[in-house]
Amino acid sequence: MRSGSSMEHNNNTVVFPYETKFVDHEINYKLLEDFHGEKTGFVQTGCDKWFFPSKYLQAAENFYNFEARTSDVWIATFPRSGTTWTQEMVWLICNKLNFIEARQRQLNERVPFFEFHMFMHDEMKKQFLSENTDASAKMFIEDISKPAYDMLSSLTVNRFIKTHFPFSLLPPSIFKTGAKVIYVARNPSDVVVSYYHLNKLYRTQGYVGDLESFYNYFEKGLVPWSPYWTHLKQAWNARHLPNVLFMFYEEMNQNLPATINKVANFLDKRLSDADVLNLCEHLSIDNFKNNPSINGAELIDVGILNSSAQGFIRKGQVNSSTDELTDSIKQRIKAWTEENLSDTDLKFPTI
């Protein structure tokens, strides 16, 4: 994909402005050995070298030209930064704490994942379909393989949308319309460990390596939605925009009631003290792990999640990665963090 320009196609779509190309052949070969869910290869886009599976090549322009609405609420994070927690919180705040509906409808239905389809490689889709004989399971696989931007465009109700795209790759219409964006940042130690387990859990990623190898990819920006620090800094630099709320996962974990009130105020909603307490109970980690509308039960049923890996909802704690990281990796993360925070006033809360 070549760099675009400000010119428009006849259908009023803007040419995608960043060049996207496959990563170096030798690196791609190694990546495909370690990530079995991707079958073609990985690409990088723009000067920041945002990293994605091959389907991004065909989908980038459609993502970029998606028409946001003023009423939209976008939950944007780097993966494993409290996304699911925030999705459930936002949806309930905006839907009058309808816990009954929240338990009956899958979270991914209520808050669709904007770019999930690009991880469903055609070969993996065929494999999942061959493993499932039930018609409803096959229909589910077909549905999640379709681009969310098509489905979202047809919705007439208020839309809640999950994305891991950095701010520079979000549809510009978000900022033209003033759609709400809630961004959550989490410290790199907890992110990398949780992301490692996620990549082993999802067969669409199919990571088969160890944690140290995964950290090497993470630090080099060779895992999806990387580079991590650029992702955070773009959101941090946009935090003063009236339609953006920037939060730290660490602060959410430390004081959930205050977080709920902050999010409610940002969304122009009002909650009573009793409402906040009820929502806190619903959002507790134990309830999350046992809630089938949240914990990926529908993906387990069709075999998209690896039954031998750790579950989708793990510990939900701050500094929970300490026992899994070697001293060497801890030192590398410390040096990497200091280097990347030297040119910004972004600082993680001390909890």
pLDDT at res. 296: 80
At 60-113, the pLDDT tens digits run 999 999 999 999 999 999 999 999 999 999 999 999 999 999 999 999 999 999
Range in 2-11, 132-141, 157-166, 280-289 with the lowest mean pLDDT:
2-11
At 23-62, the pLDDT tens digits run 999 999 999 999 999 999 999 999 999 999 999 999 999 9
What's the farthest any 2 CA atoms get from each other in the chain?
A: 57
Q: Identify the H or E element spanning 9.
A: none
C-alpha–C-alpha distance, residues 26 and 290, integer Å: 42
Q: Does the pLDDT of residue 1 top 50, yes or no?
A: no
Q: Identify the H or E element spanning 13.
A: none
Under CATH, domain 20-341 is a member of which superfamily?
P-loop containing nucleotide triphosphate hydrolases (3.40.50.300)
C-alpha–C-alpha distance, residues 113 and 10, integer Å: 29
Q: Identify the H or E element spanning 21.
A: strand 20-22
pLDDT at res. 286: 80
Residue 291 pLDDT class (50, 70, 90 cuts):
confident
At 159-169, the pLDDT tens digits run 999 999 999 99
Residues 245 and 266: beta-carbon distance below 8 Å: yes
pLDDT at res. 325: 94
Q: Does the pLDDT of residue 216 top 70, yes or no?
A: yes
Residue with tokens 């895992």: 223
Range in 64-68, 112-116, 280-284 with the lowest mean pLDDT:
280-284
pLDDT at res. 107: 94
Delimit the domains of the chain by residue range: 20-341
What distances in angstroms separate CA 24 from CA 27, 43, 104, 216, one per listed residue? 5, 9, 45, 16
| Count of alpha carbons within 13 angstroms of residue 274, beta-carbon side | 1
What number of helices (H) and strands (E) belong to the chain?
18, 7
Residues 167 and 235: beta-carbon distance below 8 Å: yes
pLDDT at res. 314: 46
pLDDT at res. 154: 94
Cβ neighbours of 213 (radius 10 Å) = 14
Classify 162 as helix, strand or coil: strand
254 vs 318, more confident? 254
